[in-house]
Amino acid sequence: MDHMEYVLKISPFILSGLKLTAKIYVATMIFALPLGILAAVGKAKGPKILKKILFLYTWIWRGTPLLLQLFFMFYGLPIIGIRFSPFVAATITYTLNSGAYLTEIFRGGIESIDKGQYEAAKALGISYPQTMRRIIIPQTVRRVLPPTCSEAVNLVKDTALLAVIGMPDLLRIATQIFTRDFNIIPFIVAFVLYLIVSSVLVKLFGKLEKKYSIYE
């Protein structure tokens, strides 16, 4: 069997792993983005007690390894009677981890908005929630697009850790095939697929940055 024939033979299995990786990625982004925005607003403009709670959240989830967080969520919590399926445990972990980083990104964006805009909105009779929703948040999103896009790309590579909780993601499938056949090609295929996905996202987010970002 030549190399190309072997690649075609193992590709359906590796692509099934890529499909799971994509599901985790999409689920994480769907939940992490709103979490990051809401937590950033609370941390920047919320009451003191909320700021303290959100400080602990970002401190813990940014200050500990993602691998440890996955182990804790999937293997640790069942000891105290809290059990999640691998998919749910992974989604929660990645959401809380990415949400913590996005919180700090968005918080920095919110605090970069000139305070005069708050005062002007107040003078016009615009309520605080409307000010945040219609004026501050849209500007913040445009200001923080570059670091947000970088975090989104990094998430693709972080999904490789799914293998440690037994999920048949791209890397785990490639590892299983390598173990069975003792052939390096599955790793090369996985390498190329990660590179392709990351490159597509970089290209897509690059276009978004050029179109919407505010550079100062």
Cβ neighbours of residue 26 closer than 8 Å, sequence gap 6 or more: none
**Residues 193-214 pLDDT 10s:** 999 999 999 999 888 888 776 6
**Residues 92-136 pLDDT 10s:** 999 999 999 999 999 999 988 888 888 888 888 888 888 888 888
Whether the per-residue pLDDT at 216 is higher than 60: the answer is no
The CATH number of the domain holding residue 180 is 1.10.3720.10
Cα maximum dimension of the chain: 75
Domain that holds residue 138: 3-212
Whole-prediction pTM: 0.89
Q: Specify the pLDDT at position 122.
A: 85
Mean pLDDT, the chain, integer: 91
Could you tell me if 68 and 93 are in contact, meaning their C-beta atoms sit under 8 angstroms apart? no
Whether the per-residue pLDDT at 215 is higher than 70: the answer is no
> What are 95's two structure tokens?
């959401």
* Alpha-helical segments (H) within the chain: 3-45, 48-63, 66-71, 86-111, 115-123, 128-131, 137-143, 145-158, 170-181, 185-212
Whether the per-residue pLDDT at 2 is higher than 90: the answer is no
> What are 139's two structure tokens?
């500007």
Number of domains forming the structure of the chain: 1
The C-alpha atoms of residue 215 and residue 201 are separated, in whole angstroms, by: 21
